[in-house]
Copies of this chain bind each other. A is one copy, B any other.
Amino acid sequence: MKDIHQLTPGEIRAIIRRGKWDKPTAGLAMGYAQANLVILPQKYAFDFLLFCQRNPKPCPLLEVLEPGEFRTKFLSLEADIRTDIPLYHIYQKGKLRHTIKEIRSFWKPDFVTFLLGCSFSFEEAMLRSNIPVRHIEENKNVPMFITHIPCKAAGVFHGPMVVTMRPIPSEKVARAVQITSRYTSVHGAPIHIGDPSILGIKDLRKPDFGDPVTIKKGEIPVFWACGVTPQAVVMKARPDLCITHVPGHMFISDLLNEELAVL
């Protein structure tokens, strides 16, 4: 078998579909956008779509499928959402019940699929501009923090915004803002630069999720809205059923990151 890192998105999805890859997708199909997955029964779909519309920074929608539809039309013309993600979590009333490699037997005709942008896209653009991405350098997960900034509620969905933090050298902060601003559909510009206490974050060494990273002298903590926000909000609402990807095990699309850039 060829090294998976040299394969196209379609080839990688075919391997995943056959159950031959259940590991994280970071570093695969470089240049192509990856997406977060949330599947909800139709009765929650309007509220969740509205939640995403009101909170586009943490919840940047890339594609939403019609009720019952499991084939994408925008992110790929030949993907099957029931099989093409390496690993799925199935939650009932907010409790994790199953972690499985495909969800065909769980599929119901009222399921609505939401695919949301992921920060992999803008991190690649940062690296190309020689802006350091510390957790990649240190081979860690990005540090994530629950802030005290409330999202705009919609129906049953509400909760605080979760953010990621990347330490950026002072002289490169403006450039980091410019670059990530281009990618509005993958979290966009930072929501906060500097003093973490204003967000209600007490200690940058103790993230709520992910790993702490080194902040060097002359670096400023920069905060972006995080795709964990919608998952946290959905869990809190305890829907009868919810299916998500397992963190880091994303949907790999046929869309280039550059196709997501606005300017």
Which residues of A line the B interface, CB within 8 A? 42, 45-46, 49-50, 53-54, 61, 64, 66, 73-74, 152, 154-155, 178, 181-182, 184, 188-189, 262-263
Contact = CB atoms under 8 A, between A and B. Distances in A.
Query: How many copies of this chain are found per oligomer?
Result: 2
A263 B49 contact: no
A182 B188 CA distance: 13
29 contacts: A42-B46, A45-B46, A46-B46, A46-B49, A49-B49, A49-B50, A49-B53, A50-B64, A50-B66, A53-B53, A53-B61, A53-B64, A54-B64, A54-B74, A66-B154, A66-B155, A73-B152, A74-B152, A178-B263, A181-B262, A181-B263, A182-B263, A184-B262, A188-B262, A189-B262, A189-B263, A262-B262, A262-B263, A263-B263
Interface centre among A64, A152, A188, A189 (most CB of B within 10 A): A64
A152 B184 CA distance: 20
Contacts of A184: 184, 262
Contacts of A45: 46
Nearest to A47: B66
Contacts of A54: 64, 74
A50 B110 CA distance: 15
A48 B182 CA distance: 27
A112 B144 CA distance: 35
A237 to B, nearest CB: 15
> Nearest 6 pairs between A and B by C-beta?
A46-B46, A181-B263, A49-B49, A53-B64, A53-B61, A50-B64
A173 B181 CA distance: 23
Contacts of A74: 54, 152
A73 B45 CA distance: 21
Contacts of A66: 50, 154-155
A230 to B, nearest CB: 14
A103 B61 CA distance: 33
Given A53-B64, A54-B64, A184-B262, 17 more contacts: A42-B46, A49-B49, A49-B50, A54-B74, A66-B155, A73-B152, A74-B152, A178-B263, A181-B262, A181-B263, A182-B263, A184-B184, A188-B262, A189-B262, A262-B262, A262-B263, A263-B263
Contacts of A61: 53
Contacts of A64: 50, 53-54
Contacts of A53: 49, 53, 61, 64
